Amino acid sequence: MINAKSVKFKNLFSVGNTFQEFDLKENSNLLVVGKSGHGKSTIIDAITFALFGRTYKDLNKGQLINSINKKNLVVEFEFNEYKVIRGISPNLFEIYKDGELIPQTGDVRDYQKNLEKNILNMNYKSFTQVVVLGSAAFMPFMKLQAAHRREVIEDLLDLHVFSKMSLLLKSKNDINKAELADINIKVQSLKSSIKTMNEMIEEQSINSNEEIQSIIAARDIKRDKTTALNNELKKLVEEEKELLKIKDSFPVSEGEVVDKILALNKKKTAIITKIDILKKTITFIDSNDDCPTCKQDITFEYKASIVEENNKSISELDLKIPKIDTNLTKCNNIFDEIKKSKDDISAIKSNTSVKKTMLNSMITTVEEMNERIDKLKNKVKSEVSTIKLDALKREITLENKKYDKHKRIAENYVNCQKILKDNGIKSVIINKYIPLLNQHINSYLEKFDMFVSFELDSSFNETIKSRHRDKFSYNSFSEGQKKRIDFSILLAMRDIAKMKNSVACNLLIIDELMDGLDVDNVDNLENILSEFDQTNTIIISHSEDIKNRQLFDKTIKAELVKNFTTYEEV
Ligand SMILES: Nc1ncnc2c1ncn2[C@@H]1O[C@H](COP(=O)(O)OP(=O)(O)OP(=O)(O)O)[C@@H](O)[C@H]1O
Ligand SMILES: [Mg+2]
């Protein structure tokens, strides 16, 4: 709510180089009188120039400065904790808060924007709609286009916050879109890197796999051979067992057989020696008739007996030899069998040992091949490219997550934008307040003795129904009636503004419009204004009659003396 405190100005229009000051603090009704062209309406221009850099009369800057002094136009307007100073020649625009200058960070336009959006909470259009009812450049609400009516109502209902949000949202959405596009580019580039990396790894793994497969094939052959060798060894063990059984089954040991053969041979040799001696004795006897030693005669009889006796012994001995030979053959056979069995066992043992050595070497080779296969498989996994691929995959997962997040944000923005559009939340609020505004307008119309039903719809088009006429528009009314409608709308808007604490200002300036009302309606207006508290009403009039009305606490007279306007309390 703007609580005006004072306005002072110099070198504006017909005002000269001396500051003319109006105290606006008091909640009073001020009457400004004076002849035509004496500077009454200048007070409105001073305020709108201070706040918005433009005058109510809608002139360009050069036309505002006093044509005699041609410089030093300065307007100072104080309200709440602020003071705005604006000037031309030299140019001046300063906003003070609690006596301290608010620094200009951007350009003048930003400074002005800050004043309107963050301090005044209204723009020129809204200000003139709720503060000033004038005759000069005043554009009654009913003469505004629907779009401008919407602007005023949006200010009134403080809906510009949604427009601000919409703008903010748009810029955020743009940033989000740009980020989405960036992420998308990154994702695409990561995808292509992953594809290349996959191809590389596939090629590497094909090479490694070929090596692995060839080793597996060689290993399988070796493993099969190992199994076969193992089976052979098992067989050999069985065979050895069988041979040992046979060896154990011999009735005599090898040593015993050898002993027996030696004994038999010895026996046989002894017999042959004996036979030989006996034969030699026979030959001697046959060839000698006396003893060579003692020279005694050997008798025939004696010879015959010796030969007979020896031949008998030879025969007996000859009979013994075949028996010995038979035994010898048996023993030799047994010896041969035992020897063969021993030889077989030792051959198997040596075969087993050789095969065991072979088996161990094969097992070692198979193990080595298995190790090589594992190493190759692990090599594929631990290749630098595989590690890089994993990193890329992790990165793309992160980027995809980011993308999803931004996508969700974008969807939210779209939904929010729908809400912030004119037909969104704003229309909900407008639809809520329009009936209230209508109610207030109709209530003021009644106070002005206008018994019509006024209805503004949500598209800001009006329907006015009169008792006897159905189709009535604003233009159908007389000038005086139009003024009353304008008054009613302005007053109703001020009520709503007060309720919403939006475009509220304690100032209400009525320029000349009172003059157009008949006595009854001046009474009505007077009644209405007297009900207002916390309102500083400035009524500008050139009617001398109005001066005597009780409504006014103070009357100021604007007077043009020697080309310069001054204001005096009368
Ligand atoms: N640049 C200027 N230099 C000096 N005087 C100017 C300049 N521009 C306008 N004027 C005069 O300043 C005065 C402005 O007065 P203002 O509009 O406040 O009159 P008013 O008292 O409201 O009159 P009315 O009752 O006819 O509306 C006029 O006399 C006008 O001719
Ligand atoms: Mg005027």
pLDDT for the residue 505: 84
Question: Is 450 a domain residue?
Answer: no
pLDDT for the residue 469: 64
Q: How large is the average pLDDT for residues 507-524?
A: 82
Task: Please give the full DSSP string across 312-367, using - where no structure is assigned.
Answer: HHHHHHHHHHHHHHHHHHHHHHHHHHHHHHHHHHHHHHHHHHHHHHHHHHHHHHHH
For ligand 1, mutation pick of 7, 12, 38 (most atoms within 8 Å of CB) = 38
Confidence label for 384 from pLDDT (cuts 50, 70 and 90) = confident
| 247 and 370 both lie in a single domain | yes
Question: Does position 548 have pLDDT exceeding 90, yes or no?
Answer: no
The CATH number linked to 29 is 3.40.50.300
Within 8 A by CB and 6+ apart from 51, the residues are 77, 84, 115, 120, 124, 127
Question: Does position 178 have pLDDT exceeding 80, yes or no?
Answer: yes
Within 8 A by CB and 6+ apart from 338, the residues are 247, 250, 253, 254, 257
- Write down how long the chain is: 570
Rounded Cα gap, residues 38 and 55, in angstroms: 17
Rounded Cα gap, residues 26 and 30, in angstroms: 10
Question: Is 475 a domain residue?
Answer: no
| 207 and 337 both lie in a single domain | yes
Pocket of ligand 1 (CB under 6 A): 13-14, 34, 36-42, 63, 66-67, 542, 558
Confidence label for 377 from pLDDT (cuts 50, 70 and 90) = confident
Rounded Cα gap, residues 50 and 45, in angstroms: 8
pLDDT for the residue 265: 96
Lowest mean pLDDT among 196-210, 336-350, 439-453, 551-565: 196-210
Q: How large is the average pLDDT for residues 121-138?
A: 79
Give the pair of three-digit tokens for residue 356.
């065991």
Instruction: Give nearest CA residue, ligand 1 atom 31.
Output: 37
**From ligand 2's centre to the CA of 542, what distance in Å?**
9
**From ligand 2's centre to the CA of 358, what distance in Å?**
127
Question: Does position 535 have pLDDT exceeding 90, yes or no?
Answer: no
Pairing status of strand 536-541 against strand 554-561: unpaired
Which of 183 and 526 is assigned the larger pLDDT? 183
| 225 and 317 both lie in a single domain | yes
Which residue has 């206008």 as its token pair?
A: 450
Looking at the CA of residue 64, tell me the nearest atom of ligand 1.
Answer: 1
**From ligand 1's centre to the CA of 559, what distance in Å?**
11
Question: Is 43 a domain residue?
Answer: yes
Instruction: Give nearest CA residue, ligand 1 atom 26.
Output: 36
φ, ψ (nearest 5 deg) of residue 510 = -115, 110
Instruction: Give nearest CA residue, ligand 1 atom 18.
Output: 39
pLDDT for the residue 113: 93
Instruction: Give nearest CA residue, ligand 1 atom 10.
Output: 13
Question: Does position 30 have pLDDT exceeding 70, yes or no?
Answer: yes
Question: Is 162 a domain residue?
Answer: no
Confidence label for 137 from pLDDT (cuts 50, 70 and 90) = low
Looking at the CA of residue 66, tell me the nearest atom of ligand 1.
Answer: 3
Average pLDDT for the chain: 89
pLDDT for the residue 135: 62
Looking at the CA of residue 40, tell me the nearest atom of ligand 1.
Answer: 21
**Type and span of the H or E element at 147:** helix 146-156
pLDDT for the residue 148: 87
Looking at the CA of residue 65, tell me the nearest atom of ligand 1.
Answer: 1
- Taking the CA of 36 as reference, the closest ligand is 1
**From ligand 2's centre to the CA of 76, what distance in Å?**
21
**How far is residue 403 CA from its own chain's centroid?**
6
Residue 441 burial (CB < 10 Å; 0-12/13-18/19+)?
buried
**From ligand 1's centre to the CA of 540, what distance in Å?**
14
Percent of the chain with pLDDT over 70: 97
Q: Which of 172, 178, 75, 82 is nearest to 121 (CA)?
A: 82
Lowest mean pLDDT among 224-228, 288-292, 378-382, 447-451: 378-382
Cα 34 to Cα 58, 75, 556, 557: the distances in Å are 22, 21, 8, 5
- Taking the CA of 543 as reference, the closest ligand is 1
Question: Is 71 a domain residue?
Answer: yes
pLDDT for the residue 503: 65
243 in Cβ contact with 344 (< 8 Å): yes
| 108 and 205 both lie in a single domain | no
Give the pair of three-digit tokens for residue 500.
């919403």
**From ligand 1's centre to the CA of 560, what distance in Å?**
9
122 in Cβ contact with 503 (< 8 Å): yes
Question: Does position 27 have pLDDT exceeding 70, yes or no?
Answer: no
Q: Which of 460, 526, 541, 453 is nearest to 493 (CA)?
A: 460
**From ligand 2's centre to the CA of 492, what distance in Å?**
24
Which of 63 and 298 is assigned the larger pLDDT? 63
| 255 and 112 both lie in a single domain | no
For ligand 1, mutation pick of 17, 41, 539, 544 (most atoms within 8 Å of CB) = 41
The CATH number linked to 361 is 1.10.287.2610
- Taking the CA of 33 as reference, the closest ligand is 1
- Taking the CA of 39 as reference, the closest ligand is 1
pLDDT for the residue 255: 92
**From ligand 1's centre to the CA of 39, what distance in Å?**
5
Question: Is 316 a domain residue?
Answer: yes
| 215 and 97 both lie in a single domain | no
**From ligand 1's centre to the CA of 15, what distance in Å?**
9
For 229, the domain range is 198-388
| 93 and 203 both lie in a single domain | no
pLDDT for the residue 521: 83
Question: Is 246 a domain residue?
Answer: yes
pLDDT for the residue 502: 67
Within 8 A by CB and 6+ apart from 297, the residues are 289, 290
Instruction: Give nearest CA residue, ligand 1 atom 30.
Output: 37
3-state class (DSSP) for residue 466: coil
Confidence label for 167 from pLDDT (cuts 50, 70 and 90) = confident
Instruction: Give nearest CA residue, ligand 1 atom 8.
Output: 13
| 242 and 383 both lie in a single domain | yes
- With vertex at residue 27, the alpha carbon angle to CA 25 and CA 32, rounded to the nearest 5 degrees, is 85
pLDDT for the residue 169: 92
Question: Does position 545 have pLDDT exceeding 80, yes or no?
Answer: no
**From ligand 1's centre to the CA of 130, what distance in Å?**
24
Query: Total domain count for the chain?
Result: 2
Which residue has 């006024």 as its token pair?
A: 454
Rounded Cα gap, residues 345 and 528, in angstroms: 140
| 224 and 371 both lie in a single domain | yes
Q: How large is the average pLDDT for residues 27-42?
A: 89
DSSP letter for 88, please: E
Question: Does position 492 have pLDDT exceeding 80, yes or no?
Answer: yes
- Residue 562: how many other CB atoms lie within 10 Å: 7
**From ligand 2's centre to the CA of 123, what distance in Å?**
22
Last residue of a domain, one of 370, 388, 406: 388
Residue 352 burial (CB < 10 Å; 0-12/13-18/19+)?
middle
Instruction: Give nearest CA residue, ligand 1 atom 6.
Output: 13
Within 8 A by CB and 6+ apart from 215, the residues are 369, 372, 373, 376
Question: Does position 272 have pLDDT exceeding 70, yes or no?
Answer: yes
| 20 and 117 both lie in a single domain | yes
Percent of the chain with pLDDT over 90: 56
Last residue of a domain, one of 388, 404, 426: 388
pLDDT for the residue 129: 81
Q: Is 534 left (phi over 0), alpha (psi -120 to 50) or beta?
A: left
137 in Cβ contact with 58 (< 8 Å): yes
Q: How large is the average pLDDT for residues 443-452?
A: 90
Q: Which of 124, 159, 121, 126 is nearest to 141 (CA)?
A: 126
| 227 and 357 both lie in a single domain | yes
Looking at the CA of residue 558, tell me the nearest atom of ligand 1.
Answer: 21
Q: How large is the average pLDDT for residues 168-190?
A: 94
Looking at the CA of residue 63, tell me the nearest atom of ligand 1.
Answer: 1
Which residue has 């409608």 as its token pair?
A: 485
Confidence label for 130 from pLDDT (cuts 50, 70 and 90) = confident
Which of 422 and 348 is assigned the larger pLDDT? 348
Question: Is 443 a domain residue?
Answer: no
Rounded Cα gap, residues 421 and 372, in angstroms: 70
| CA-based end-to-end distance of the chain | 31
pLDDT for the residue 98: 97
| 223 and 103 both lie in a single domain | no
Last residue of a domain, one of 349, 373, 388: 388
pLDDT for the residue 297: 86
